[in-house]
Amino acid sequence: MSIFIFLAILFVLVLVHELGHFAVAKWMGMRVDEFGIGFPPKLFGIKRGETEYTLNLFPIGGFVKIYGENGIGDESQRVEPSNGNGRSFTAKSRTAQALVLVAGVTMNVLLAWLLFAVAFSVGVRTSVSEAEATDAAVLTITSVMPESPAAKAELPLGVGITGAVSGDDALTTLTPSAFSAFVAEHGAEEIVLTYTKDGTEQATTLKPQEGLIADDASRAAIGVSLAQVEIVKRSIGRSIIDAGAHTIASTKAVAVGIAMLVYDSIRFEADFSQVAGPVGIVGLVGEASAYGFTTLLTFTAFISLNLAVINILPFPALDGGRLLFVVIEAIKGSPIKAQYAATLNTLGFFLLITLMVAVTWSDIARLI
């Protein structure tokens, strides 16, 4: 199921990104030859005016074909003869070109803002302290340590613990501290843990284990992190404002994280184990969906911001790289030679594919 949710998320994020390029290109009077949903081969298409709208076989996003978009550096496309070159991408002002290039990134940021706002208004599962928790708070499993008793018992993430019994003794207070104390007290005994999943109560039996807590190796534990979780709802107005602030803060965090990764890569000290590629993101999508719909919405928003920040990087083959070419042309007052632009874009694409393979290999290695 996680792979299908991931593909649906990817489809929406890329489609929204390309829709930004499409809408602004039309607004700027550029000739858009094709707006495709999915990637070729083409299944069928409908032509409306000068643009063909196509449905393609692989449903992992979309694309826009703007006349002359690959002609950066080609002076011939800046002339306006009878063949319509005056409506090509490079025939337009550099301001118009820049607006088209940043439109995709802008749409991804706006989508993230919208998703955050919807999630906040519907209600987001939020961790609260034991002192702040109300009767509606649920003792929730937020993480499971690998190879721990909890992992061996296949305790799922995001479920609410409803009780724990060991012998004739039962847990009476459902808080993280009370649960930890109960487990430690019955470290040599089996514990029957009950929890709610998909609206039904389930139970599992496990035995605590010592050595799982780094700063207290003699204390018995089952290998879970717990939190008091409540559904916090905001008004629509408050949701929009808070979502805007959260979008800005999250974008800054993503930018700083990517900048540090690039800096560490230059020094050959990058830790790719902390970077998730497509395989890793599938697993993260599964974890996010386990926490509920609004958690999946906020996770999707975060991926959208990552896509935006990565795309605006001044790197060949990305929107930011093409934007850099436009800025350079504006400064020097003449186009970059077409062969130079093509070579840099090809090199950039090759490096991106190499990075993707490296990150994917790291994802697979972690799974193994």
Residues annotated as catalytic are 18
Select from 118, 155, 151 the least CA-distant residue to 240: 118
Contacts for 363 with CB less than 8 Å, ≥ 6 apart: 276, 277, 278, 279, 280
The pair of structure tokens assigned to 337 is: 């030679």
Torsion angle in degrees (nearest 10) through CA of 288, 122, 139, 222: 0
Output DSSP code: residue 88.
Answer: S
Number of C-beta neighbours around residue 318 at 10 A: 20
Tell me the C-alpha distance between 144 and 33, whole Å: 51
Contacts for 96 with CB less than 8 Å, ≥ 6 apart: 28, 29, 30
Is residue 150 within 8 A of residue 206, CB to CB? The reply is yes
Select from 327, 300, 317, 326 the least CA-distant residue to 354: 317
Tell me the C-alpha distance between 342 and 317, whole Å: 9
